[in-house]
Amino acid sequence: MLPTITEMDISPAPSLGVVRVDPGPAGGWGTGCTGKHDTYLAELFSDQCCATGYAASTQTAVKAPLTVRSGEHVRFLVTVTDRPGPHREIAGTINPTPTPLTLSPCPAYYEELEGIAGAFYAYQLNCVAASPIEPNGSETFEMFIDVPHSAPAGPAVLLWSIDGSPTVWQSIRTNIDISS
């Protein structure tokens, strides 16, 4: 159960002071934080006329089996590349980040077999052996997901995403088939 957020202190910079706001009712969906401290992602976007959207400044790829079984502990690989995907120009750049992406603090991530009860998981990424991701470089992580014994046979979608700003981290989905 996520804690109820009744107010937030927002400070755009140390010398600019703090504004206390009521975030209002929750929108969308999210995961409980897996770290020691609860966090709340809030992003400020320009209201200028030319701010038309955003795209992630990373690309994410997944290598997963095409077919899995109900009750199986499935291994798959996720590769995060510091290179914007197509359509990054809507955010004003087509270049990778100018400095390496550091994985400190090590971010949380979530994975899910969309639409299958009991198949949503949130974890802390294992950054112990990971290096900062250089521009146009990548880092691959070994992942596992448990397919519930009750998962029905048929097509499914595996979703994987860093729990952070969508302007930095790209989510990835891949189709898999569940056999009984």
Whether the Cβ atoms of residue 126 and residue 115 lie closer than 8 Å to each other: no
Q: CA–CA distance from 102 to each of 7, 55, 96, 160 (Å)?
A: 30, 19, 13, 19
Q: CA–CA distance from 12 to each of 9, 20, 45, 77, 110 (Å)?
A: 10, 12, 12, 37, 28
* pLDDT score at 31: 47
Task: Name the more confident of 135 and 95.
Answer: 135
Kindly list the domain boundaries of the chain, sorted by start residue. Answer: 59-179
* Residues whose CB falls within 8 Å of the CB of residue 25, separated by 6 or more in sequence, listed in order: none
* pLDDT score at 58: 82
**In this predicted model, what pLDDT tens digit does every residue of 44-102 receive, in sequence order?**
544 444 444 445 678 889 999 999 999 999 999 999 988 765 544 444 455 666 678 88
Proportion of the chain in helix, strand, coil states, percent, rounded to 5: 5, 35, 60
Whether the Cβ atoms of residue 96 and residue 84 lie closer than 8 Å to each other: yes
Is pTM beyond 0.85? Reply is: no
Task: Name the more confident of 131 and 90.
Answer: 131
Question: Strands, DSSP E only, in the chain?
Answer: 8-10, 19-21, 59-63, 67-69, 73-81, 108-113, 120-124, 138-146, 154-162, 172-179
pLDDT band with cut points at 50, 70 and 90 for residue 135:
confident
Task: Domain 59-179: give its CATH architecture.
Answer: Sandwich (2.60)
| pLDDT above 60 (res 166) | yes
| pLDDT above 70 (res 30) | no
Q: What is the mean pLDDT of residues 13-37?
A: 59
Mean pLDDT of the chain: 77
Q: What percent of the chain has pLDDT over 90?
A: 33
Question: Poorest-confidence range of 50-54, 59-63, 127-131, 170-174?
Answer: 50-54
